[in-house]
Amino acid sequence: MKNLIADIKANKYVAGVRQVNRHLLENKIKKIYLATDCEKDFEKKVTDHFKNFDVKVEFCGTRQEFAKLCNIEVLCAVIGILS
């Protein structure tokens, strides 16, 4: 979780699977954080998709913690750090 907080403070980021995917397709993501409490079928689908890109995926935190860090009102399972 310390890495995520440091990355958010030091870099720009996007939250949510749609935003992360959009930026991935534009080769603008250097690292992805995935919440440890997301549903297993969602986790598998997302990680399988992210394997197609040269991006490191790290598991940490919860969806509630991600939402709080990103200052959003809905739960968030994915955060992408922009390059």
The H or E element that residue 50 is part of is helix 40-50
The pLDDT score that the predictor gives to residue 5 is: 85
The pLDDT score that the predictor gives to residue 78 is: 95
Q: pTM of the predicted model, to two decimals?
A: 0.90
**pLDDT at residue 26 is higher than 90:** yes
- CA 22 centroid distance within chain: 12
Q: Coil, strand, or helix at residue 75?
A: coil
The fold of 2-82 is 60s Ribosomal Protein L30; Chain: A; (3.30.1330)
Average pLDDT (4-24) is 90
Domain ranges within the chain, ordered by starting residue: 2-82
Dist. CA 31–CA 7, nearest whole Å: 9
